[in-house]
């Protein structure tokens, strides 16, 4: 076999091996750093919330439309409960995403709306290709005036991988 063919063959096998992973629900791990009082890494800088820990928090459901999705039931823990888990003591939280978007929201505002870190929509886990693994959802339909438009849209952050308390 020519060297070129061999490389092509290896690439094809790699693609096939990875496809089921990409198609399945994204495993959820959420790294939290900044102004937190609990850490679980050797350097004591980050608390990595495992999927099991996230699933142990009380699930809350917000039924709402968003700019990108028709009226749906989103389920996940309250952002407030996630922040309590890591002993957060900042006023702001920066949300970092797999597509390298970063947006900072007010914690008191998110808590006032009961915002959730949704891991499922209509009972199905969010895939990375579908706003997963975590999508910050506010009850937009209940507060259409305040939560519609481009300023509000920026707060609906998807593909969340990390939080930074400020
Ligand atoms: N993961 C992720 N979430 C995001 C963004 C992004 O680039 N990545 N953009 C935000 C901003 S600034 C707005 S206005 C809307 C943009 O949505 P659109 O790309 O559909 O216009 O989503 C918000 N959530
Ligand atoms: Mo935006």
Q: How far is residue 31's CA from residue 112's CA, in Å, rounded to a whole number?
A: 23
Whether 105 is in a domain gets the answer yes
Task: Report pLDDT for 20.
Answer: 47
Residue 11 has pLDDT above 90, yes or no: no
> Which residues form the pocket of ligand 1, taking CB atoms under 6 Å from any ligand atom?
68, 97, 99, 101, 150, 153-154, 156-159
Which residues are CB-contacts of 1 (< 8 A; sequence separation ≥ 6)? Answer: 9
Whether 129 is in a domain gets the answer yes
Q: Which pLDDT band, with edges at 50, 70 and 90, does 45 fall under?
A: very high
Output the furthest CA–CA distance in the chain (Å, rounded). Answer: 65
Quote the mean pLDDT of the chain.
91
Q: Which pLDDT band, with edges at 50, 70 and 90, does 25 fall under?
A: low
Whether 9 is in a domain gets the answer no
Q: How far is CA 103 from CA 20, 77, 161, in A?
A: 31, 19, 12
Q: Which pLDDT band, with edges at 50, 70 and 90, does 1 fall under?
A: low
Ligand 1, atom 6: closest residue by C-alpha: 101
Whether 19 is in a domain gets the answer no
Q: Which two tokens stand for residue 138?
A: 């506010």
Q: Looking at residue 106, which CATH number applies to its domain? A: 3.90.420.10
Whether 125 is in a domain gets the answer yes
Q: Name the pTM for this structure.
A: 0.87
pLDDT in tens, 123-136: 999 999 999 999 99
Ligand 1, atom 9: closest residue by C-alpha: 154
State which ligand 1 atom lies nearest to the alpha carbon of 97: 1
Ligand 1, atom 4: closest residue by C-alpha: 157
Query: Ligand 1 center to residue 72 CA distance, Å?
Result: 19
Phi-psi region of 54 (alpha: psi -120 to 50; beta: other; left: phi over 0): alpha
pLDDT in tens, 74-84: 999 999 999 99
The rounded Cα 111 to chain-centroid distance in angstroms is 16
Cis peptide upstream of residue 158 (ω within 30 degrees of 0): no
Query: Ligand 2 center to residue 102 CA distance, Å?
Result: 11
How many domains is the chain built from? 1
Torsion angles phi and psi, residue 63, rounded to 5: -100, 115
Q: How many CB atoms lie within 10 A of CB 69?
A: 17
Ligand 1, atom 23: closest residue by C-alpha: 154
Task: Report pLDDT for 23.
Answer: 52
Boundaries of domain holding 100: 24-165
Burial track 92-121 (b if 16+ CB lie within 10 A, e otherwise): bbbbbbeeeeeeebebeebeebebbbbbbb
Q: Which two tokens stand for residue 98?
A: 């797999």
Residue 39 has pLDDT above 80, yes or no: yes
Whether 120 is in a domain gets the answer yes
Whether 45 is in a domain gets the answer yes
Residues with CB under 5 A from ligand 2 (ion): 154
Whether 37 is in a domain gets the answer yes
């Amino acid at each position: 076999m020519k060297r070129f063919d061999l490389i092509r063959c290896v690439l094809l096998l790699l693609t096939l091996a990875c496809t089921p992973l990409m198609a399945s629900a994204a495993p959820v791990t959420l790294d939290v750093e900044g102004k937190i009082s609990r850490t679980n890494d050797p350097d004591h800088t980050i608390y990595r919330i495992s999927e099991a820990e996230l699933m142990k928090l009380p699930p809350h459901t917000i039924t709402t439309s968003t700019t990108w999705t028709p009226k749906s039931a989103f389920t996940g823990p309250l952002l407030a409960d996630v922040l309590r888990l890591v002993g957060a003591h900042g006023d702001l939280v920066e949300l970092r995403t797999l597509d390298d978007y970063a947006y900072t929201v007010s914690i008191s505002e998110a808590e006032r709306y009961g915002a959730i870190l949704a891991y499922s929509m209509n009972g199905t886990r969010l895939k990375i290709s579908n706003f997963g693994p975590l999508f910050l959802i506010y009850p937009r339909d209940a507060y259409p005036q305040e939560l519609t438009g481009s300023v509000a849209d920026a707060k609906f952050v998807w593909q969340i991988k990390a939080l930074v308390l400020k």
